Structure 1
């Protein structure tokens, strides 16, 4: 394995933009070489609303990451979220011309391409098509149909849809910052890769990533992604509520939330008071911690209840779809004191805080293993996977040219097909930007 190959994840968030440089070490773990972050000024609820400011923030984060890692950054894997993301379930089938031949990746590719032709609302584009399970000639619950005989191949798909303009705006910012777009990934999927174990995905788990502008949800069961949603509220609305409720400025509200905030009002006694300096010679303000946690509690409860509605939409209450591993909280907002207890109280599900150390090398910096960087770590992992696939494809082409037996290469070609649809959208966005120059 070439350990010199680096990958860069670029997490364009509402509060911060993070560029993270990583590579695989000899044990197959991800080693983070450098990290750069900048305040995100041009993004609102996960959607770019000021191109110039976003480009500047990306450049600042990338320069910082270059200085920290000692590597020149040329291409990045970008995460997308935002309130324009929605998902739907869809079933489709193909009839095979010759049922005497076994099903191969070309058949699955054909089926996936058929789903891509779904008619979307104007201005929407399919971002991910994620196969759930397959049916071959009416035989259900097949996870891997390749190598089987059958005339009719059916599948249930989880289709993630987003606004074309939002995706193009992000691509535009990345290109204008002097970077190449390596790939686009849905942020909840990146975070899930970084913080969830294989056992949790098998047992059934809901990952809740609480960011600054959005709260992302990804539900897994039997090792397969079953449901995704983006809720347009995050840590920023909590800060906004504190600002309004206590009549203080945003900077002070953010500090109050981080230092003294709690999602459980019962924890604070009435006589616990924090004093905040007044503006330009005005009297200092005194705020009781009980009031502060009441404000936080009200908003957090609203966010958690909205997420819980989405978990119910997936069908968590059905015995077959039960999420045995419960909930995993990650993202910057998950660091709020007593949030875990509140989520357990509202949902009645086991909850833990997710740290992205599942796949990180043992000597990683503790800062990197914070829930704050879950998405960025996931994007680096995604970038490394893409590189591996590219190398595998090059090797396979060489093998085919040499007319060698390629049976042992089959898993590689399966992998190639699986993600090709995501790469297609990246190619389309690149093409669009090149033509728009």
Structure 2
């Protein structure tokens, strides 16, 4: 291909690997839009895709190569880097919770919150693994924090607070490893390098609904052959995505059964329905047939109604009700009557459900090609997302010498990228070995496990924290942390020399391996070197009565009998809030400044404990 020019950095090549076909799009950024230079499409000869997921990698690779070579001949460019998208069908959502102990007297830092959220995401992945028969690799797509808690009380933010234990609940979305790897493998066989990967529902949203319209509550429904992907936006951003396992194939299979035809013929009948004329076909017995439009349309009513009901249920579920408007995209959206059925099932006016395509011109244009087709939503969206920088996965970041897999928009940190590429909390932060707690002659002894060997993380050949922001072209080097060994002692190792002793009321030999919770009683005094000093007691504090203001009302507090000071947490019972049934986070302030539960109070303080 010496006669072809090399693919320059401004030329965007996108492939939409669909259940029915592979669509290729090439474009170049012109101002704030993508100029589409070529579109090619080729259908699968047999089913290489199952519900949007690659089944036959070689067949998909061959078809991708055919589409790529057509575009190369048309544009006289050697295409090497490709942008792709994974189907929403494969998305898995799981909640996770994680807790971290905090050092006394220190305010919570952004790094500690990042560590907490990382642990919660890893806990979500671990919970997902428990539902699987065999352990699988998952790649993080994104997550949201559902709730923070500090010492068991909910807060809207942890930053700057102090306490004993902080917790986070997250809802995380993952792609199974085989979905990601099969896409990469097919592209590799086709002689292409994956430059970016996103999700089909997000890509379609970027093409069909411009950013300025996302202040409205809108839903994009991309009806493919095997799956229907859904994305919902409001207040300026995409707030959720889901999928429906029903799609265009449901209609095709109903036609196969009704008219005794093969899959390809049924597809042709379905397409001809758009014309509204009588249909001519040959069944599997070789008999030529003619059916009226009305007869064929009657056959698809039931499956079309099921599809509309499934779409309405998922849109309402992810959005919390019907949105302001719905855009139908994908080849299945052209099915006559589906738009009206969806509107009816959502309880919306028919005019508020429309086919996509009217807004493509805001982000993409062509001087020769007609782009205003709803089935172009995903391929155009993949190209537009990369070409206009609408997603962070539109640039290349190298991780340990290989292109990193990136899946979502917004600023990405090193931690985000590591989690997106299959690394876990333990890989990033390591875990100290488990402690061994025993009771020796009536005293509790805690033997600490080995500390973790820290991870090595470098950004562009310099050491960097996991909170460092990553930019296009960055080089990341990462060596996972190594968790420390659990604490382990024999009786002799604990006592320092052979000593007769009882372990759990039975005399035990010196080489007895101690276990968690063992009770040890020596029958002779151990050497002084083995004595383990008790922790010093805290110095006493004199009683201290206080007069303060709580939620704008005076409150007198008598001195505590034990002589300790009053903390903010001591006032929770006077706040009037039912902490067992809170529905909103709690605002904690002393003298107008936000603080934590362990804030020491002094006479005359003004305290606020109220729901946000």
Decide: shared fold, TM above 0.5. Answer: yes
Change (3 A) 1:342 1:388: closer
| Distance across 2 between alignment mates of 1:139 and 1:210 | 40
Instruction: Give the counterpart of 1:299 among 287, 296, 303.
Output: 303
For 2:17, the equivalent position in structure 1 comes to 12
Change (3 A) 1:372 1:382: same
Instruction: Give the counterpart of 2:225 among 212, 217, 225.
Output: 212
Q: Is 1:351 the counterpart of 2:364 in the alignment?
A: no
Change (3 A) 1:228 1:54: same
Change (3 A) 1:182 1:93: farther
Q: Which range moves more in the overlay, 286-295 or 127-136?
A: 127-136
- Cα deviation, residue 9, structure 1: 1.6
Aligned length: 387
- Cα deviation, residue 88, structure 1: 4.4
Q: What TM-score does the superposition give when structure 1 sets the normalisation length? A: 0.75
Larger Rg: 2
For 1:71, the equivalent position in structure 2 comes to 77
Q: Is 1:338 the counterpart of 2:337 in the alignment?
A: yes
- Cα deviation, residue 423, structure 1: 8.8
Conserved? CA contact 1:183–1:383, under 8 Å: yes
For 2:519, the equivalent position in structure 1 comes to none
| Distance across 1 between alignment mates of 2:414 and 2:181 | 23
Conserved? CA contact 2:21–2:42, under 8 Å: yes
- Cα deviation, residue 101, structure 1: 9.2
- Cα deviation, residue 198, structure 1: 2.9
| Distance across 2 between alignment mates of 1:383 and 1:422 | 21
| Distance across 2 between alignment mates of 1:225 and 1:243 | 38
For 2:328, the equivalent position in structure 1 comes to 329
Aligned to 2:214, the other structure's residue is in SS state helix
Extract unaligned runs of 5+ from structure 2.
Answer: 1-7, 130-134, 399-408, 425-612
Residue correspondence of structure 1 range 172-321 to structure 2 within 5 A: 172-261=185-274, 273-277=278-282, 283-314=287-318, 316-317=320-321
Q: What TM-score does the superposition give when structure 2 sets the normalisation length? A: 0.55
Root mean square deviation, CA, Å: 3.9
Aligned to 1:304, the other structure's residue is in SS state helix
Instruction: Give the counterpart of 2:378 among 351, 375, 396.
Output: 375
Q: What is the CA deviation profile of residues 29-61 of structure 1, one whole-angstrom value per residue up to 9, with x for unaligned ones?
A: 111222232223411211111122111011111
Residue correspondence of structure 1 range 121-160 to structure 2 within 5 A: 121=129, 122-123=135-136, 125-131=138-144, 140=156, 159-160=172-173
Aligned to 2:320, the other structure's residue is in SS state coil
Q: Which has the higher contact order (CA 8 A, sep 6+)?
A: 1
Extract unaligned runs of 5+ from structure 1.
Answer: 263-267, 395-412, 429-437
| Distance across 2 between alignment mates of 1:359 and 1:418 | 33
Conserved? CA contact 1:36–1:63, under 8 Å: no
| Distance across 2 between alignment mates of 1:61 and 1:112 | 42
Residue correspondence of structure 1 range 54-65 to structure 2 within 5 A: 54-65=60-71
Residue correspondence of structure 1 range 34-53 to structure 2 within 5 A: 34-40=38-44, 41=46, 42-53=48-59
For 1:434, the equivalent position in structure 2 comes to none
Conserved? CA contact 1:8–1:380, under 8 Å: yes
